[in-house]
Chain A
Amino acid sequence: MSKHHISTTINGEPVEFLCDTAQTLLDVLRDELGLTGSKEGCGSGDCGACSVLVEGRLVCACLVLAAEVDRCAVETIEGVAQGNALHPLQQVFLNEAALQCGICTPGIIVAAKALLEKNPDPDEEEIRFWLAGNLCRCTGYDKIVRAVQQAALVMRSA
């Protein structure tokens, strides 16, 4: 059987690609489209490093078949900054030392952005449970939680 021809929108741009059934959205983003900002930490949906939005819904790109996103809108970490202007979350993560190695950071920023769009003023517990699917081994989460709250404040006062 030939490959699937998929038409999609990634970060607002129309994108077409060919894929096999067994390729995940993450495989295609990274290997075919050069969007390596989404990371593969586990390939089983347990670490969240490949968090993306599909039709506005936060998902792990490793648990979505590439063929499933035909005619869907996909948003990745590469679409979070507007040109050279960082998103408040990105700026605050840098300012507040909310990352160390940074491998989990793209996924956490995508997930946190989805949270703040749904809930502009989450409390600590809401942030912690929302991000429970995003493993970070470096920070102990303290500065991540603070940065999300700080970014929420920046965004609310914008």
Chain B
Amino acid sequence: MLTYNKPTTVDEAVILLQQPQHAARALAGGTDLLVELRSGRLAAQGIVDLKRIPELRALRAEQDGFRIGAAVSGAELGEHATLKAMWPGVVEAANLIGSTQIQGRASLGGNLCNASPAADSVPALIAAGARCTVAGPGGRREVPVESIVTGPGKTSLVSGEFVVDFVLPAQAARGGDAYLRFIPRTEMDIAVVGVAVNLTLDAAGVCTTARVAVGAVAPTARLVDAAGAALVGTTVDETALNALMAAVRAACAPINDKRGTIEFRTHVAGVLAGRAAKIALDRARSRA
């Protein structure tokens, strides 16, 4: 019989989740977990609902950015005006996950730990340089978001560990981010390609830093260093954008599946990178 527990503290949750072979599963928004449960694919013997732990539901501005509880819903992120103003790309990415109904439940923690290569919020978080707090039997550690997912459905979390919250740094004065994804419809699809760009400019409009991350084109979301490097030192002109697009395409290692082909994903990843960079650039300029 499947058990259900709703701990109210992180420590309690760690104990409940500390089961061999991940036999206990963490529940945040449940928009992936319940589909698994319903299809009979859920192997777990217990469900640990993390939403009654206050830390996982908190969203607050801190001195150096934002701390976002792992179970905060997409809808709540979208309603947070200052977060949206500083990290529009991250919020847009989170808000692209599913329908209005899904937004009422889906969380950053779940989107990350479900470990889908196509998770929308993950490239945006990586590009933003977000870190997450992992709690577990060994205490707490703060790690970059990109260190969590190791492959489709696989994470680096050990038994008893879960993500408590995310820490988004403060966006630079002349910084901007953007996330674009490609889906066949306008809503309700899983990303066929996702690209996030986060860049900063100097007073002269020259790009000083750039982080570019891609989703759905490799076993995990990837930070593409060469793509960021293509923008740094430029005014993000056509030449730089072409170099960015080429670097993104070179970093793609997608598969053919029901959602897209290798050729399509690779080509469109470049297209979206170029478009996302332009949006990020406009945002960086308008923040300056």
Contact = CB atoms under 8 A, between A and B. Distances in A.
B4 interface: yes
B220 interface: no
A58 B101 contact: yes
16 contacts: A1-B1, A4-B4, A45-B102, A58-B104, A59-B104, A60-B101, A63-B102, A63-B105, A65-B34, A68-B27, A129-B100, A129-B187, A130-B100, A133-B102, A133-B187, A134-B99
Given A65-B27, A133-B187, A57 B4 contact: no
Contact of A57 (B35, B99, B104): B104
Interface of A is mostly: mixed
A100 interface: no
Contacts of B105: 57, 59, 63-64
B63 interface: no
B34 A132 contact: no
Interface string B161-202: 000000000000000000000000011100000000000000
B220 to A, nearest CB: 24
A8 B6 CA distance: 16
A65 B187 contact: no
Contacts of B187: 129, 132-133
Interface in A59-75: 59-60, 62-65, 67-68, 70
A139 interface: no
Interface residues of A, number: 33
A46 interface: yes
A43 interface: yes
A20 B104 CA distance: 23
Interface string A54-97: 10011110111101101000000000000000000000000000
Nearest to A19: B4
A1 B104 contact: no
Contact of A45 (B35, B75, B186): B35
3 closest A-B pairs by beta carbon, nearest first, are A133-B99, A132-B187, A21-B4
Given A45-B31, A68-B30, 5 more contacts: A1-B3, A21-B1, A24-B38, A57-B105, A63-B30
B34 A24 contact: yes
A114 B103 CA distance: 13
B102 A60 contact: yes
A58 B37 CA distance: 21
Contacts of B49: 65, 67-68
A33 B17 CA distance: 32
Nearest to A133: B99
Given A59-B101, A133-B102, A22 B2 contact: yes
A51 interface: yes
A148 interface: no
B51 interface: yes
